[in-house]
Structure 1
Amino acid sequence: MSVNGKVIPHTPLAVDFWQVRKCPGTRLFFLSHMHSDHTVGLTSTWSNRPIYCSPTTAALLRLKLQVKEKWIHPLELDEPYLLPMDDIGKEKLTVTLIEANHCPGSVMFLFEGYFGSILYTGDFRYTPSMLREPCLRTHTTIDVLYLDNTNCDPNRTLPSRQQATQQIKEIIRRHPNHNVVIGLYALGKESLLVELAMEFKTWVEVSFVRMQTLKALELPDVFTTEPGVGRIRVVEQSQICSANVHKWDKEQPTLAILPTSRPLVSFHPNVHVVPYSDHSSYQELEDFVSALKPTSLVPIVGKHVPASFSALLPRRKRHEILVPECVRHYMLSQPESQLSSSANTSPRRRHFQPLLPKGVLFDSPVRGAGKSGEEATEPDATEEEMDAEVSENDSDCILVDLSKYHTPKKNRGGTGDMCLNIVKTTRTPFETNAKIISGLYQMTYTVVHI
């Protein structure tokens, strides 16, 4: 599995990087969100080093990885926090968390200290409102921008999530007598599910494992584990295969929808791939970099960004970084020696008050029925992992990820025996500069308590 995290040079900081033996000088760890390619190496045995994240991510960290409470330090968004960078209280940094518009709990980190100003986006979907954040609006210089370059391809366009959601709604409206199966990974796109539930006045059936996550997120009450009570059902993306589609269709006419920015093509008339992305498009990244004008740019995924981005950077040199002696000593000391400082001098801890669950316009299902067949544990896989595993029965495959076969300068071993049949994709014209939908907690729903 790829590791989408970084150790910040000349500092004791790391973001989404948990391989401690590779960063012995790191003392402060930051988690941008809970997708598994950003938590590689982070387990329940984590100790001696504080983890800073958003309150929502903290809740998921406890639920999914069972990290001990003493190491988890949730920070509220949009508020600056002072953190110690040594064990004597002399040197501090300021960190501000900014909504990343990616998945529940995802944030960007703005670090300020002796090293200058560093903005680490983590995974994010850019929207112009981000530039109105007070911490960015008042800043004249970002010295280093760590950029989520997942979709940084000038030859590829993506619709806004609002446009992609409309495409999905139109597909469902065209098939009023069909059930709908949506293939998703373990975390993300919850706002899409809530919007579809409200639009079509139906419960969304999920597995017991997914329901645990949804309860932790305190989303509107549109989800159920009761089989057959709702028109929409969520499954793991890997379950969208020809055998299952044939099985579902025999029981009840069924559509399968894959909301993903991965370059998949469908080979079944009832399977629709919709380019719904939680990562910024190339044009959005260009707009973001052009507006911020950072002194330097570091890609989070891989080592390269398009040369056209270099033209967006101002011609100025970054000042030389002088690491204070107390910070050098801190980075060389044993982690145990910092327990009395960083663990006990936590930033202002604030009580997280999640949104209360809300009722919906349709009847509640009868509770206490048998468990759903989807109870099997869902892997914490994410869209950006691009897992290359092929089904044990290749003839059962109905999807192929074109990026594995058409990525330039990539050595591909094996015979590439993937099934290729008739292509059917769902892509409608869209404007690349359309208005971008807000994140999960910025959506507005009309609900009636029941």
Structure 2
Amino acid sequence: MGAREREMEKGLVSIDRWGDGSQAYFLTHLHTDHTSGLSSKWSRGTLFCSATSAELLSTKFPDFDLSLIRVLEVGVTQLVLLRSPSSGSEVRLLVTPIDAHHCPGAVMYLFRGEFGCVLHTGDFRWEIMNERAVMAKKTFMDALEGSKIDILYLDNTYCHPSFSFPTREVASQQVIDIINSNPDHEVIIGIDTLGKEDLLLHISQALGMKIWVWPERLKTMHLLKLNSNFTTNTSLTRVRAVPRYSLTHETLSSLNTFHPTIGILPSGLPWRSKFLEKTPAAVAAATNLNDKTPLTKLHQYAFSVQYSDHSCFSEIQEFIRTFRPSKAAGLVSSSSYCINPRYYFSHLYENHHIRDVSCKDFRSKLDRKFEYEQRDNFVCKREKLSSLGGRVGAIRKGKLGAKIAEGEESEHLIL
């Protein structure tokens, strides 16, 4: 099969991108940086996602047209039938959503067809000893059926040797230890609108108390069936989870004028500059990637714990070593330091013909070329509620000419 025949034709699939020009749109998860362009009024085509994402989508986008949603069962290979924009012939697309272990509803997508085999990780954490990652690896192997991955679109957020994280289980215990060592303090934990639920549950269960969350976050917890561990009543707990952006030096200083309070930032990000003097020299020192000394206490009132929902450098390396793609492209770009997986791991690729060059040369000479040659055809995002079950099941057969044929191995969607 020639190289041109192994490329996915432009106009078929978009992943986490919501503009015109595709027949099928795939959502990896509902974090804001992956839903830019998606709205309650969006109606450009069929949207494929996991069941959990479908549950949450209507709360993020009220009045979203649920007839556009097609729920894909995680771990199950399904056949999606599309039409070639150029010839009108049928295109058979085998899709396997795989648990990304990132946030509720997050999945990776494995695509197979005449174009070859393409894997899009979205955002993911590859803790290989974790039970969910073990199951994900088995799902991968079963779905691949001995095939190799031709193109890997990789979450390379922390693809730099300076990033080395403990497992989330270890990091969770570190958070609990900080809380227990400050028994007379109120505790503020900075989180996003989705994600870190396992951490909060671990804290709640270990301390035997509920955790305060803001009302919108409690609604999400209800949808995830986790509401028994959370409350909006501040009198019931000394531990509060707040929007991450609101946890600052100024906030903690103000809170400490009323009651002793500590803040905890669970993240792989270098948060030090947020709590230091805002001079160029201080910020540069705080974000130095060559400083591998683990920093726990950021400030008089603030602690940082490396609880990450993205894979660190060694986990990315293990992932690539396991699946040995022919080509790979990072989903995240950075001008400040090199996180290009091909710079570090090209020797692990099935066809490792790329010569060693400087990181700067690598970005300028290869990244741009690969992006335009491959990504124009396989469009994907690059960075910088009450239950829907019955309702979606009833609606999904209705519009866009979709026909669902029940089969022993997969669900056939004719779009």
Name the aligned partner's letter for residue 166 of structure 1: Q
TM-score, normalising length: structure 2: 0.72
Range with bigger deviation, 85-94 or 188-197? 85-94
Counterpart in the other structure of 1:19: 19
For 1:101-116, list aligned pairs within 5 A.
101-116=101-116
Counterpart in the other structure of 1:315: 351
For 1:4-43, list aligned pairs within 5 A.
10=10, 12-20=12-20, 24=21, 26-43=22-39
- The 1-side partners of 2:269 and 2:405 are apart by 39
Contact map agreement 2:67 2:399 (CA 8 A) in 1:
no
- The 2-side partners of 1:8 and 1:41 are apart by 23
- The 2-side partners of 1:274 and 1:254 are apart by 17
Contact map agreement 2:101 2:125 (CA 8 A) in 1:
yes
- The 1-side partners of 2:106 and 2:401 are apart by 23
- The 2-side partners of 1:157 and 1:102 are apart by 17
Range with bigger deviation, 170-179 or 118-127? 170-179
Contact map agreement 1:131 1:137 (CA 8 A) in 2:
no
Closer/same/farther in 2, CA of residues 168 and 96 from structure 1, 3 Å limit: same
Deviation at 1:18, TM superposition (A): 0.9
Counterpart in the other structure of 2:123: 123
Counterpart in the other structure of 1:62: 58
TM-score, normalising length: structure 1: 0.66
Contact map agreement 2:266 2:305 (CA 8 A) in 1:
yes
5+ residue gaps, structure 2, are 1-6, 129-133, 277-298, 335-339, 354-376, 378-396, 408-415
Deviation at 1:91, TM superposition (A): 2.7
Q: Per the alignment, in what secondary structure is the counterpart of residue 122 of structure 1?
A: coil
Name the aligned partner's letter for residue 344 of structure 1: A
Name the aligned partner's letter for residue 307 of structure 1: Y
For 1:259-338, list aligned pairs within 5 A.
259-265=266-272, 266-267=275-276, 268-302=299-333, 304-315=340-351
State the aligned residue count. 319
- The 2-side partners of 1:340 and 1:217 are apart by 27
Closer/same/farther in 2, CA of residues 223 and 341 from structure 1, 3 Å limit: closer
Deviation at 1:113, TM superposition (A): 1.0
Deviation at 1:343, TM superposition (A): 4.4
* Residue 200 (structure 1) aligned with residue 207 (structure 2): yes
* Residue 221 (structure 1) aligned with residue 231 (structure 2): no
Deviation at 1:302, TM superposition (A): 2.2
Deviation at 1:214, TM superposition (A): 1.2
Deviation at 1:63, TM superposition (A): 1.1
- The 1-side partners of 2:217 and 2:96 are apart by 30
Q: Per the alignment, in what secondary structure is the counterpart of residue 214 of structure 1?
A: helix
Deviations 1:157-176 (A, max 9, x none): 22221221121111111111
Name the aligned partner's letter for residue 94 of structure 1: L
Counterpart in the other structure of 2:95: 95
Q: Per the alignment, in what secondary structure is the counterpart of residue 76 of structure 1?
A: coil
Name the aligned partner's letter for residue 226 of structure 1: N
Q: Per the alignment, in what secondary structure is the counterpart of residue 328 of structure 2?
A: strand
For 1:361-376, list aligned pairs within 5 A.
none
- The 2-side partners of 1:208 and 1:220 are apart by 11
- Percent identity over the alignment is 33
- The 2-side partners of 1:76 and 1:70 are apart by 17
Contact map agreement 2:8 2:115 (CA 8 A) in 1:
no
Q: Per the alignment, in what secondary structure is the counterpart of residue 83 of structure 2?
A: coil
Name the aligned partner's letter for residue 47 of structure 2: I
5+ residue gaps, structure 1, are 1-6, 318-326, 328-338, 350-450
Deviation at 1:226, TM superposition (A): 1.2
Equivalent residue for 1:81, pick from 78, 81, 91 = 78
Q: Per the alignment, in what secondary structure is the counterpart of residue 251 of structure 1?
A: coil
